[in-house]
Amino acid sequence: MSKPSRSSGHPPAEGLREQKRRETHQRIVDTALSLFLANGYEATTLDAIAAEAGISRRTFFAYFKSKDDILMSFMDAGWASMCADLLKTSPDVQPLHAVRDVMTKQISSYTTEEMTSLDNLMRSSESLLARKQIFYAEQEQALFATLCEVWRQPERQVALRMVAIIAIGAMKLTTQAWGNQSGHKKPMAEMFCEALASLKSEL
């Protein structure tokens, strides 16, 4: 995930080639997610994804190396959106509170049914579970870099690194606990806020 940065003025106009590539990328992701949820991750082949997306197998590999990469791209887009929101935060706000708010907003953008389907999907493959742990480590670094963009004082960097570690750790524990619930599930966003609040009470 590339480091989000502040920009001034308007972004450069997207050329036709870049637009078509972005649209094809998104079509592959949307198609693959639909097939994964309908047929299962292991049962969905690359050929099926390519055919449903209206592209050749060769074109598929110009965008993704594997099925795992598609899901990681989907997750990465969500975190990129979260970091973009965090960059809009006032530096007068406490960093952990800001992270809690933007992460809660991101989690709440999914319904319980959507979150359940995605969680089951990520648990359906050993390779996905391994990639997910690597992904968390990468997002911890990305979150720390984003925090340093908002709160720029060098002397705060150790504390900001701790905020990133705490936030990602709370998300990992929340995701696991939420997925292990039986029956009616408590909203994940609520559980995430409770996890952070419990840490505050211990400190």
- Give mean pLDDT, residues 143-154: 97
DSSP state of 91: T
Distance of CA 59 to the CA centre of its chain: 25
Q: Structurally, how many domains does the chain consist of?
A: 2
- Give mean pLDDT, residues 69-93: 94
Specify if 109 maps to a domain.
yes
Predicted local confidence at residue 34, as pLDDT: 94
Say if residue 161 is in the same domain as residue 113. Answer: yes
**Cα angle at 197 between 193 and 203, to 5 degrees?**
150
Specify if 19 maps to a domain.
yes
Contact 61, 129 (CB under 8 A): no
Residue 12 binned pLDDT confidence (cut-offs 50, 70, 90): low
Say if residue 93 is in the same domain as residue 177. Answer: yes
Say if residue 141 is in the same domain as residue 166. Answer: yes
Count CA within 13 A, CB hemisphere, residue 203. Answer: 7
| pLDDT for residue 148 is more than 80 | yes
> When comparing pLDDT for 10 and 116, which is higher?
116
> When comparing pLDDT for 59 and 9, which is higher?
59
> When comparing pLDDT for 1 and 90, which is higher?
90
This prediction has a pTM of: 0.84
Contact 35, 44 (CB under 8 A): yes
Domain membership of residue 129 as a residue range: 66-202
Contact 61, 28 (CB under 8 A): no
Count CA within 13 A, CB hemisphere, residue 119. Answer: 20
Say if residue 57 is in the same domain as residue 117. Answer: no
pLDDT in tens, 43-77: 999 999 999 999 999 999 999 999 999 999 999 99
Predicted local confidence at residue 13, as pLDDT: 63
| pLDDT for residue 9 is more than 50 | no
